[in-house]
Amino acid sequence: MNPSSKLLSPDNHALILIDYEGQMAFATKSINIAELRNNVGLIAGASKIFNVATVVTTVAEESFSGPVFPEVEETYPQSTSGYLDRTSMNTWEDGPAYNAIVGKKKQKLVFAGLWTGVCIVGPVLSAIAENFVTYIITDACGDVTPEAHDRAVQRMIQAGATPMTSLQYLLELQRDWARQETYNAVMALATKYGGAYGVGVQYAHHMLQH
C-alpha cells in the first residue's frame, strides 16, 4: 500500500519557476501562449495550495525581459515573494539563486520555465550532476521552435530527468479526493486553468446541484 518514492508529494520537492517574462514569451513558438499561461497558472497555483517550497527567478527583469506573467504574480507577488533576478542564463550558475534552491533542502527538484533549451536545460543538467532528482513540467516550458523544445526535453530525459505535465503535477499533489483540506482549492484552480478538464469539473459540480 506504500506509494512509489518516485511520486511527488507537497513536502518532498522544490518547484523552480524560471523566466516567465514577457520578452521570453514573445519568441516562444513551441506552444500556444494562452495554453502556456494556463499551465503556468496550474503549477504556480498548485504549489501555493500545497505549500510547496518554491523559487521564482527572472533574468534581466528591469533591463530586458520585463515583468513576470500575471499567473505567477497573482500567486507569488514580487512585493512579498522577492524574485531572484540574474544575468546568468543558467540559474545554477547564479550564486543567490543556487543558494535559494539548495537552501530548500529538497532532494527532488521540479523545473519549469522559458526557454526549454537554454534556461531549463542548464539548471536541470547541473542539478543532475550534483545528484539531485529532477523533473521537468514539459507543457509549462516553451522554446523558439517546436524542435528546440523537443530536443531539449529529449536531452534532459537522456540525462536522467523525468518529464511530466502541469495537470499531472496538480493531481499528483492532491493524490486522494478524500483530502478535503485542499479539495475545494484544487477544484477551483482546475476550473480556472484546467482547460477541458476544468470545464468538466464545472459541469459536474453544476449538474450535481440540480
pTM: 0.95
Asked whether residue 8 is domain-assigned, the answer is no
pLDDT digits (tens, 9 = 90+) for 121-141: 999 999 999 999 999 999 999
Confidence band, pLDDT 50/70/90 cuts, at residue 205: confident
CA angle 18, 175, 34 (to 5 degrees): 40
Instruction: Output the pLDDT for position 64.
Output: 78
What's the domain count of the chain? 1
Domain containing 75: what range? Answer: 13-176
Let me know if residue 153 belongs to a domain: yes
Answer yes or no: is 160 within a domain.
yes
How far, in Å, CA of 63 to CA of 95, rounded?
20
Range of lowest pLDDT (54-68, 72-86, 159-173): 54-68
**Is 6 domain-assigned?**
no
Question: 205 lies in a domain?
Answer: no
Q: Which residue has cell 493531481?
A: 171
Question: Cβ-count burial of 93 within 10 angstroms (0-12 exposed, 13-18 middle, 19+ buried)?
Answer: middle
For residue 146, pLDDT beyond 80:
yes
How far is Cα 24 from Cα 77, in angstroms, rounded to an integer? 19
The answer to whether residue 197 sits within a structural domain is: no
Residue 154 lies in a domain: yes
Give all strands of the β-sheet with 133-137 in edge-to-edge order. 84-86, 53-59, 13-18, 108-113, 133-137, 162-164
pLDDT cut 70: percent of the chain above it: 98
Separation CA 114–CA 142 (nearest Å): 6
Q: What CATH number is associated with residue 53?
A: 3.40.50.850
- What pLDDT was estimated at residue 80? 86
Higher pLDDT, 196 or 141: 141
